Amino acid sequence: MAPPTSTMTETSTAPSQTTPPKGFDSPAAQPSGTAPHEPKVNRQTASAKMMKFPSPPTFSDKHEERKYLKGRLALAFRIFGKLGYDEGVAGHITLRDPVDPTTFWVNPFGLAFSLIKSSDLIQVDHKGDVIAGGENRLLNTAAYMIHHAVHAARPDVLCAAHSHSIHGRAFCALGRELDCITQDSCAFYDDHVVYRQFNGVVLAEEEGKDIAACLGNKKAALLQNHGLLTVGQTVEAAVFWFVSLEKSCQAQLMADAAARGRGGETVKIDEEDARFTYKTVGSPRAGWFSAKPAFDVMARECGEEYLQ
């Protein structure tokens, strides 16, 4: 099936609100009065000048939705592979199953991201048992511990992504939040956390629950000494947040180094402007729409193979 043209504060591990606010709580959500992705453009102006912004596809048949979403997940892995977010066997992206929401689909352990097809994905239940999927049914224990906890705590989350990208893990070694120094980083304004514990590879259920509790209702977590974790109400949004967060980490590492080399500091975006920009570039719909070009390109490059 060809694709149609179509979520900065320090937190503890204490439980927090797990439902995003209105305008950030569903796949097509967009805060009232704003247009997806373009700061300073309101919805009325956007409607007058261009065609209506598209929205994520909807389905009446849950099995058809599963088929479509598994294809999107396969593309997500191929995008991660192309961007170099794979290293050895680390990294995982999960998709909540629309037929049985207590289960999720994930990559089999040890299969290269760039080779993943829809039929390779494995379905995992709430106990960590693989109940369906491709021939390779090896499950990464850390994938289950982190993602099961996140999906259980966040009913709004369709997809969660984690990998050991180079700039993300470098920034995570600093144990600090991201600054709003660019328009892109405003997508994470007051919408990401730092998980300040590191207990090795996440093999314990309690560690996964602690990560989920720290994430709360945010779209991203900087896992100290580890890497990035992003979530979304669509596969596309979760992937775009990861890519954008990785690049925002890279931009801040470079800007901080350059500023300090000159004996100064980076220029921060003021609170009011950061908040306004966040409502435009940081919504679920903006995340989905921003990812669309990358998914379109990858689908064209792969042909129909990823759907096999």
Res 18 pLDDT > 80: no
User: Which token pair is 103?
Assistant: 């289960």
Return the number of other C-beta atoms located less than 10 Å from residue 258's C-beta.
11
| Domains of the chain: residue spans and CATH | 62-307 (3.40.225.10)
Quote the CA–CA distance of 256 and 260 in Å, as a whole number: 6
Using the predicted structure, report yes or no on whether residue 49 has a pLDDT greater than 80: no
Return the pLDDT at 16. Answer: 55
Give percent of the chain with pLDDT exceeding 70. Answer: 88
Q: Is 200 left (phi over 0), alpha (psi -120 to 50) or beta?
A: left
Rounded mean pLDDT, 163-178:
97
Which H helix or E strand runs over 220?
strand 220-223
Average pLDDT, the chain: 89
Confidence check: pLDDT of 5 > 50: no
C-alpha–C-alpha distance, residues 125 and 102, integer Å: 7
pTM (2 d.p.)? 0.85
Please tell me the predicted confidence (pLDDT) of residue 237. Answer: 98
DSSP symbols for 78-134: HHHHHTT--BTTB-EEEEE-SSSTT-EEEPPTT--GGG--GGG-EEE-TTS-EEEES
Taken in order 288, 290, 296, 298, the sign of the CA dihedral is negative
Residue with tokens 């694709």: 3
**Poorest-pLDDT segment among 41-55, 89-103, 158-172:** 41-55
Percent of the chain residues past pLDDT 90, beyond the cut: 78
Contact 83, 95 (CB under 8 A): no
> pLDDT band at residue 38, thresholds of 50, 70 and 90?
low
Kindly tell me if the per-residue pLDDT of 59 is higher than 70.
Answer: yes
pLDDT on residue 44: 56
